[in-house]
């Protein structure tokens, strides 16, 4: 009964901020590599941010300095804080958990950046 449930998406103006949440059940997220992906219409899925069980965080160049990934062990939840949003950030954002060949995906949450 593993589930990853994303929330927090919505419509925001350029320069605004959103915080996405990924609530995990059936797994303890701190035992997995947790990833945030995004996919815009007509484009391939893109890896945006990663945090390992050791706390190492990496980001795609286009979001460095604007996006920040974090985790709350007590809530078994991973977050993606998105600041200085740009129209090109518009996409469906997906949470992903990986451990070896085991991989789980959430259903996605829509982020739209538009004036």
Contacts with 32 (C-beta within 8 Å, 6 or more apart), sequence order: 53, 97, 98, 99
Q: What are phi and psi of 73, to 5 degrees?
A: -65, -35
Question: Quick one: average pLDDT of 65-92?
Answer: 97
Q: What is the pairing mode between strands 18-25 and 77-82?
A: antiparallel
Handedness of CA 46, 37, 96, 70 (dihedral sign): positive
For 44-71, write each residue's pLDDT tens digit.
999 999 999 889 999 999 999 999 999 9
């Amino acid at each position: 009964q593993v589930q990853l449930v994303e929330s927090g998406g919505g419509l925001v103006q350029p320069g605004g901020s959103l915080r996405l949440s990924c609530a995990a059940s059936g797994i303890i997220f701190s035992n997995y590599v947790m990833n945030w992906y995004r996919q815009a219409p007509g484009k391939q899925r893109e890896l945006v941010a990663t945090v390992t069980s050791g706390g190492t965080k990496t980001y795609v160049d286009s979001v460095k300095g604007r996006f920040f990934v974090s985790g709350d062990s007590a809530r078994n939840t991973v977050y993606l804080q998105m600041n200085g949003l740009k129209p090109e950030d518009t996409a469906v954002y997906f949470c992903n958990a990986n451990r070896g060949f085991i991989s789980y995906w959430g259903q996605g949450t829509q982020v739209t950046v538009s004036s």
